[in-house]
């Protein structure tokens, strides 16, 4: 068996395929499925940010997302953004955060900011700006002063 399996950006990787990456300065060869357990954040960044690794959606990427949640919850929330499932008033079960964000901006704002759920859903500055703009147009009196200042800074 060959010991070195460098990243092949043209290949679509499955869980049983081997990949060699540096770990603490030492080339380490593992199956992709093992890398998901060993360093899921690194694998995710290689797929999404660096775009050097292509993987099978069902066999590798979907399990990777669930492993990210357990391995690094802060990173998981940051990458999921509005796709994260939340318990939102008026829904009988969990709902993707995007739904109340889009359909009830004022209600979402009150839940997210005033009920202190910022730790549940991570909104990037552009998404915050979009939300604050909608809320400002619909019901400006519910907004916190810091959010009004954020809007006025643009």
Residues 43/51, Cβ–Cβ less than 8 Å: no
- Domain final residue pick, 71, 99, 120: 71
Q: At 1, is the pLDDT very low, low, confident or very high (cuts 50, 70, 90)? A: very low
Does the residue 2 lie in any domain?
no
Residue 112 CA to residue 104 CA, distance in Å, equals 12
Quote the radius of gyration of the chain (alpha carbons, Å).
20
Residue 115, pLDDT score: 84
- Structural domain including 85 reads 81-152
Strand partners, 133: none
Mean pLDDT of 124-135: 94
Place of tokens 């915050």: 128
Does the residue 76 lie in any domain?
no
125: left (phi over 0), alpha (psi -120 to 50) or beta: alpha
Check residue 84 and report its DSSP letter.
Answer: S
**Strands 12-13, 54-55: pairing kind:** parallel
Residue 52, phi then psi, degrees to nearest 5: -105, -10
54 Cβ contact partners less than 8 Å away, ≥ 6 residues apart: 9, 10, 11, 12, 13, 47
Residue 65 CA to residue 50 CA, distance in Å, equals 17
Q: At 73, is the pLDDT very low, low, confident or very high (cuts 50, 70, 90)? A: confident
Does the residue 54 lie in any domain?
yes
Residue 132, pLDDT score: 96
Residue 105, pLDDT score: 97
Residue 7, pLDDT score: 95
Same domain flag for 63 and 119: no
Tens digits of per-residue pLDDT, 96-126?
999 999 999 999 999 999 888 888 899 989 9
Does the residue 3 lie in any domain?
no
Strand partners, 95: 86
Same domain flag for 66 and 103: no
Same domain flag for 103 and 66: no
The pTM for the full model equals 0.73
Residue 119, pLDDT score: 87
Residue 99, phi then psi, degrees to nearest 5: -65, -55
Same domain flag for 137 and 90: yes
- Report the domain count for the chain: 2
Tens digits of per-residue pLDDT, 13-66?
999 999 999 999 999 999 999 999 999 999 999 999 999 999 999 999 999 998
Residues 13/54, Cβ–Cβ less than 8 Å: yes
Same domain flag for 66 and 94: no
């Amino acid at each position: 068996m060959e010991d070195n399996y460098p990243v092949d950006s043209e290949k679509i990787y499955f869980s049983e395929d081997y990949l060699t990456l540096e770990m603490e300065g030492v080339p380490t060869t593992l199956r992709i499925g093992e890398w998901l357990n060993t360093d899921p954040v690194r694998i995710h960044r290689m797929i999404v940010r660096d775009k050097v690794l292509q993987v099978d959606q069902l066999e590798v990427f979907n399990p990777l997302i669930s492993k990210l949640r357990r391995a690094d919850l802060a990173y998981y929330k940051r990458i999921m953004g509005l796709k994260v499932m939340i318990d939102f008033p008026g829904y009988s079960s969990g709902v993707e955060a995007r739904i109340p964000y889009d359909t009830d901006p004022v209600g979402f704002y009150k839940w997210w900011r005033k009920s202190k759920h910022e730790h549940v859903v991570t909104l990037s500055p552009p998404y915050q700006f979009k939300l604050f703009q909608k809320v400002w147009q619909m019901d400006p009196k519910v907004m916190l002063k810091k959010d009004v200042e954020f809007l006025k800074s643009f």
